[in-house]
Amino acid sequence: MNFEITKASEVKVRKVEWLWYPFIPFGKVTVIQGDAGDGKSTFILKLAAMLTNGEPMPFTDGNNLEPMNVIYQSTEDDADDTIVPRFISAGGNTEKLLFINEKEHYLSFSDERLLGAIRATKAKLIILDPLSAYIGESTSINSANEVRNQFRPLIDIAKEQGCAIVIVHHMNKAMGQKAVNRAVGSVDIVGAARSVLMVSRTDKERPNERILVQVKSNLSPTGTAIVFSLSENGIEWVEETSRTADEVLGNAFSSMGRPDEQIQKAKDVLSRLLSDHKPKPQSLIMEQFKTMGICESTVKKAKVQLNIRSVKQGTYWYWLLE
């Protein structure tokens, strides 16, 4: 039997790069799940539009990014009457939204056309919508072994090309389950992704309102949930919130655990920093907490509990305690 051993000392350590911290990492696979009609595709198409223009991601500070190419593959919506019109409505750069021709046969995770297109276009975001159409015609999404085998080439492509691959996926009807168990098919689908996001409705009284929550995060602390609304003009970002995925689904699991002392500490500091009720730059606030050893997700949870508003001025976000 031939085998090769690598020492830890021989491994070249590298830092995880982010398309959108802490939700979508470069070089990894991300899954975004939700019920039919809840806005998963609309949400990811809005992000694609922003990225083709080099706009900062929602609730992040900083200068505009370098506009990037995005490959978008969908078997549920047609490009001519749905995807492109929505993309244009979202303000996207149509020169940078790209489609791989699937007229003769659909792509799959291991399709060489996918790797070839990424190399040729240098696309940094690849969207496959939905998972069931691209995992492979003969693959059972309920089989752990088959799912793992299909994900391997996709994971390799993401790593080798340094791109973010986002797969849109449906949720099952198993009410009362934890959010991490709500993806249709084998648990290995969630296991293969480094980040799993969920788009869901908020409540019946706000039919156009949605929430993005992070169900799983292997590479960072769990991100703060984001509320957004759907309208004829696309998506409007509303606010950040401390709600968890299980709370959104109405489960009791999230109530377990002890209060976080770090959150209380962050609340005390924020109350002092914003006591004059004038907007302060989010980046400066975060920098101060970084020196204190308090992570960003903890600070944002404290922000939500204090009802601190996010106010955008130009490309920068400010926090205001009213």
Could you tell me the pTM of the whole model?
Answer: 0.82
Instruction: Tell me the two tokens of residue 19.
Output: 């398309």
Distance CA 160, CA 138 (A): 26
Q: Which domains does the chain have, with CATH numbers?
A: 15-250 (3.40.50.300), 258-320 (1.10.10)
Q: What is the pLDDT of residue 306?
A: 87
Of 210, 235, 208, 239, give the one whose Cα is nearest residue 224.
239
Count Cβ atoms within 10 A of the Cβ of residue 305 and give its class: 0-12 exposed, 13-18 middle, 19 or more buried.
middle
Average pLDDT over residues 233-258: 73
Instruction: Tell me the two tokens of residue 105.
Output: 């046969």
Counting residues of the chain whose pLDDT is more than 90, the rounded percentage is: 58
Alpha-carbon distances of 219 from 8, 103, 196, rounded to whole Å: 20, 37, 11
Residue corresponding to tokens 């390799």: 156
Mind listing the pLDDT tens digit for each residue in 146-175? Answer: 999 999 999 999 999 999 999 999 998 877
Q: What is the pLDDT of residue 255?
A: 42
Mind listing the pLDDT tens digit for each residue in 264-313? Answer: 888 889 998 998 988 999 989 988 888 888 888 788 888 888 889 888 88
Distance CA 18, CA 282 (A): 19
Ordered strands of the 234-241 beta sheet: 97-98, 70-74, 125-129, 164-170, 29-34, 195-201, 209-217, 225-231, 234-241
Q: Identify the top-confidence range among 7-11, 103-107, 291-295.
A: 7-11
